[in-house]
Amino acid sequence: MFKEYNQNQIFLLPPDISKMVAEEHIARLINDIVDTIDISPIIKCYCPYGQRAFHPRMLLKVLFYAYATGTRSSRKIAKKLEEDIVYMWLSGMQRPDFRTIALFRSRQLKEIKAVFVEIVNLCVEMGITKIGRVYIDGTKIEANASGHKMIYLKSLKRREERIEKEIQKILNEACEIDNQEDKRYGTKRGDELPSILRRREHRFKKLKEAAERIREQKEYLKQRSNCSKTDKDANLMRMKRDYIYPGYNVQLSTNNQVIIHYGVSNQCNDTALLKPQIEGIKEAYKQKPKEVIGDSGYGTEENLRYLEKEKIEGIIPYQALKREKSRAYQNNPYSRDKFIYDRKTKRIRCPQGYLMRLESIQRDKKTKAIIKKFKGRRCKSCSGAIFCTSAYQRGYEYKPWWEKTKEKIRYKMSLEKVKRIYNQRKMEVEAVIGNIKHNLGFKKFLLRGIEKVDIEAGLISIAHNLIKIFRFRQKPMYCGP
């Protein structure tokens, strides 16, 4: 009636663990790839002396599989090595302690980007991706820090001023006591120091120590306005769910949903992070992308000048383009686009038909671009002045190169071919971010400090690419330009 069931049955020959792992399992792919890639940069991090360490290939296989299946805690990975047959097979039945896994991840994987580039090159050879067209976007990921333990530059300055006043007050009181004792005892020593003064000296010492700590914290902040006490590299950022929390800005460059390059920053805005991404791609693959597609967060004059200098085609709308397309902006008779540059007189003509006066010609500090500043001449007597400006005179800054570039972008973004490429960004980099956060559960970093956070970002990027290779082997995908 029932099949024979006996837990105490002894095997005649020891079982082969590899046969217990399915042939089409992703662990087999991870095993094969890690066995073939060059990990010499990681091996160089090891010291040749002392106790023999676990082999880095084994630990890489375990970590890559763990991140690809949504397990990141070192304690949970160590537990899996004792319970999960796939982990046992990857580790060769070895059981490194959770501390070993944590230390390997945080200390020995400083050269993880070299391994990441090896895997991307493998994707290129397999025809999964190319370096030609790159989609760039950023996402905010929470840091391993508390949002209630923050250091703010403004509060540091206020505390420093208060401590300085307290110190000065104590010094003044000490001088006054010295003067009184001089009058009472003259050149003689007098009695022991009063208890009230001893307490004051103790407080003076504590205040001095607090002032020194504040100076160190201010030096650490430098150009930043805040940082966390637990992770001093993390910044307060507005997260996807519209709440503020300490975190990092992770930048991803993708093609055909394969991550080509990644970067971690504590800057809240994406504006200054386009150039590091392009330079990183150039350094890693010894070639630059032909096209870069990004949202308006990257559409600054400085970034577009950089792309033009590097001769890279950019499909990036400038930041005000969406607002210019709004009905309210277009129906406004005094919006910026209603002020026209007269090429004959080389002056600006306002919507009322009056020529504006050239006030000065300057150069931008960052881009070194020419800026022509104009002022209205008849604003006081103009009937539309109350609708045009709240100031005494309407001002207008004209940048020749920037205005021509905006005109080119407006025309480019109106083309159907460009619209299709730009809309593809939603299925490209944004889909990758969704997979990492939702499917792999990567919503918060476990490590602290920007260097260690960069390692963890590399691990999740590798895990995502390994999943893409696995899916590609099951069902080949189209690789775009």
pLDDT, tens digit, for every residue of 437-446?
Answer: 999 999 999 9
Residue type, 4: E
pLDDT of 291 > 90? The answer is yes
Specify the pLDDT at position 261: 94
Specify the pLDDT at position 89: 94
Specify the pLDDT at position 81: 94
pLDDT digits (tens, 9 = 90+) for 440-470: 999 999 999 899 999 999 999 999 999 999 9
Q: What percent of the chain has pLDDT over 70?
A: 82
- Over residues 46-52, the mean pLDDT reads 85
pLDDT of 90 > 60? The answer is yes
- Over residues 21-29, the mean pLDDT reads 91
What pairing do the DSSP bridges indicate for beta strands 291-293 and 133-142? parallel
Specify the pLDDT at position 216: 63
Specify the pLDDT at position 120: 93
CA distance 277 to 287: 13
3-state SS, the chain, equals: CCCCCCCCCCCCCCCCHHHHCCCCCHHHHHHHHHHHCCCHHHHCCCCCCCCCCCCHHHHHHHHHHHHHCCCCCHHHHHHHHHHCHHHHHHHCCCCCCHHHHHHHHHHHCCCHHHHHHHHHHHHHHHCCCCCCEEEEEEEEEECCCCCCCEEEHHHHHHHHHHHHHHHHHHHHHHHHHHHHHHHHHCCCCCCCCCHHHHHHHHHHHHHHHHHHHHHHHHHHHCCCCEEECCCCCCEEEECCCCCEEEEEEEEEEEECCEEEEEEEECCCCCHHHHHHHHHHHHHHHCCCCCEEECCHHHCCHHHHHHHHHCCCEEECCCCCHHHHCCHHHHHCCCCHHHCEEECCCCEEECCCCCECEEEEEEECCCCCCEEEEEECCCCCCCCCHHHHCCCCCCEEEECHHHHHHHHHHHHHHHCHHHHHHHHHHHCCHHHHHHHHHHHCCCCECCCCCHHHHHHHHHHHHHHHHHHHHHHHHHCCCCCCC
Structure confidence at residue 196 as a pLDDT band (50, 70, 90)? very low
Specify the pLDDT at position 197: 47
Nearest CA to 235 among 145, 115, 105? 145
- Over residues 425-430, the mean pLDDT reads 89
Specify the pLDDT at position 185: 55
pLDDT digits (tens, 9 = 90+) for 152-192: 665 656 665 666 666 666 666 666 655 665 556 555 455 54
Residue 342 phi/psi, 5° resolution?
-85, 110
Q: Which two tokens stand for residue 455?
A: 């390692």
- Over residues 119-145, the mean pLDDT reads 91
Specify the pLDDT at position 395: 84
pLDDT of 219 > 90? The answer is no
CA distance 255 to 479: 8
CA distance 441 to 430: 15
- Over residues 25-30, the mean pLDDT reads 93
pLDDT of 430 > 60? The answer is yes
Q: Quick check: 314 and 274 in contact, CB under 8 A?
A: no
| pTM of the shown model | 0.82
- Cβ neighbors of 45 (< 8 A, separation 6 or more) are 107, 108, 110, 111
Specify the pLDDT at position 87: 95
Specify the pLDDT at position 221: 62
Over the range 199-210, which residues count as b (16 or more CB within 10 Å of their CB) and which as e?
A: ebeeebeebeeb
pLDDT digits (tens, 9 = 90+) for 348-396: 888 888 888 888 888 888 878 888 888 888 887 787 777 888 777 788 8
Mean pLDDT of the chain: 84
